[in-house]
Amino acid sequence: MTLNTAAFRGGSKRITAASIIRLLMTHLVLIAIGLLFALPFYWLVSTALKPDSQIFAMPPVWIPHPVIWSNYPKALHYIPFALYTWNTVKICMYTVVGTVISCSLAAYSLARIPWRGRNLVFATLIVSMILPGQVTMIPTFAIFKWLGWIGTILPLTAPAFMGNAFYIFLLRQFFMTIPRELSEAARIDGCGEFAVYWRIVLPLAKPALVTVGLFTFIGSWNDFLGPLLYLNDERTYTLSMGLQRFVSQHGAEWAMLMAASTVMTLPIIVIFFLAQRTFIEGVTLTGIKG
């Protein structure tokens, strides 16, 4: 399947008609499938810019004419968007900070400190990853109820400070690749374990830490079940909750729903573009180096 790029750099091979046709075909297939993937996004954005008459028009109107911007302010008016965004961002920030700190500590212990019981802890961590969330959901709810935390954001943020098996695993894999000589040298210079972690390992692991932070942010931003379980006051709703409630109340207001969904999706897409490389590397690291 792989095409030889040397042919186009004027290397030993010459450009043949067959290779050009093959390249064209490849692009055609990639573009055709790409359109299928991109089309829902286009429909999302364009529906939000259409007047009602064109939303329900047959055959479908591909380019909104005239472009109606008012669906955005209308949607943002119906849903207290600024408040929900702030609530969501707040939860995201706490979970990102908590996850990065707690996971890097545990990963450091598992990757860099030789201690008895470490293998047992690591095995437990791996096994805990296949545990369905439903099994722990009800007692966890009971714990938070007992603490009086239902209706606050604490059930969504506090557990982040106690680590996450996937991210500990990811960071451990990364920490393993940092040369041991570096920490040994620091120890000889009189660094304690925490100083080695803080001054040597963390700075070297920045890409992995950014990956974990990004995943956590997106996971929190997109989370629905958590807020559904624990938030019962509209003033504390996240965007996911707000959008779902809006759907169940104003099901057929498609233009506004599309506008709200666009605004909710946009930050994720922006973040993806800003950190694309880290992102793909991170997905890879979680999946491969097992």
Partner 1 sequence: MNTSMKSKRDTLNGVLFASPWILGFLTFVAYPLLASLYYSFCSYDAISPPHFIGLENYRIMLTQDSLFWKSLWNTLYMAVFGLPVSLAAALGIAILLNQRIRGIAIYRTIYFLPSITPVVASSVLWMWLLNPQVGLINTSLKGLGMTNPPDWLSDPAWAKPALILMGLWAVGGGMVIYLASLQDVPVSLLEAASLDGAGTWAKFRHVTVPSISPVILFNLIMGLIGTFQYFTQAYVMTNGGPQDATMFYALHLFNRAFQDFEMGYASAMAWFLFVITLICAIAVFRTSARWVYYAGESS
**Are 188 and 256 contacting, i.e. CB atoms less than 8 angstroms apart?**
no
Does residue number 30 form part of the binding site for partner 1 (CB under 8 A)?
A: yes
Q: In 3-state terms, what secondary structure has residue 16?
A: coil
Residues 95-154 that bind partner 1 (CB under 8 A): 101-103, 105-106, 108-110, 113-118, 121, 124-125, 128, 130-143, 145
Alpha carbon distance 271, 269 (integer Å)? 5
Rounded to whole angstroms, the Cα distance separating 111 from 168 reads 10
Between 182 and 280, whose beta carbon lies closer to partner 1? 280
Using rule CB under 8 A, residue 3 touches partner 1: yes
Is the backbone of residue 10 left (phi > 0), alpha (psi -120 to 50) or beta? Answer: left
The distance of closest approach from Cβ of residue 288 to partner 1 in the complex, given in angstroms and rounded to an integer, is 6
Q: 111 and 155 in contact (C-beta within 8 Å)?
A: no
CB of 60 to partner 1, least distance (A): 5
Q: Contact between 209 and partner 1 (CB under 8 A)?
A: no
| Of 219, 19, 238, 195, residue with least CA distance to 99 | 219
DSSP 8-state assignment for residue 161: G
Name which of 78 and 161 has its Cβ closer to partner 1: 161
Q: Minimal distance in Å, beta carbon 136 to partner 1?
A: 4
State in angstroms the smallest separation of the CB of 153 from partner 1: 16
Is the Cβ of residue 34 or residue 73 nearer to partner 1 in the bound state?
34
Whether 212 and 100 have beta carbons less than 8 Å apart is answered as yes
Q: Is 229 in the site for partner 1 (CB under 8 A)?
A: yes
| SS3 label, residue 49 | coil
Alpha helix ranges (H) inside 48-80: 52-55, 71-78
Q: Which is nearer to partner 1, 93 or 269 (CB)?
A: 269
Q: How far is the CB of 4 from partner 1 (least distance, A)?
A: 9
Of 64-72, 177-185, 205-213, 275-283, the window that binds partner 1 (rule: CB under 8 A) is 275-283
Rounded to whole angstroms, how far apart are CA atoms 14 and 7? 6
Entry field: residues in the chain? 290
Instruction: Single out the residue of 51, 193, 202, 278 in contact with partner 1 (rule: CB under 8 A).
Output: 193
| Segment interacting with partner 1, rule: CB under 8 A, options 9-17, 29-37, 76-84, 175-183 | 29-37
61-100: contacts with partner 1 (CB under 8 A): none
Q: Please spell the DSSP secondary structure of 136-197, one letter per residue.
A: HHHHHHHHHHHHT-TTSSHHHHGGGGG--HHHHHHHHHHHHTS-HHHHHHHHHTT--HHHII
Per-residue mark of binding to partner 1, 151-190 (x: CB under 8 A)? --------x-xxx----x----------------------
Among 20, 21, 28, 38, indicate the residue that binds partner 1 (CB under 8 A).
38
Contact call for residue 197 and partner 1 (CB under 8 A): yes
Asked if 217 is part of the footprint of partner 1 (rule: CB under 8 A), the reply reads: no
Q: Which is nearer to partner 1, 96 or 125 (CB)?
A: 125
CA distance 256 to 254: 5
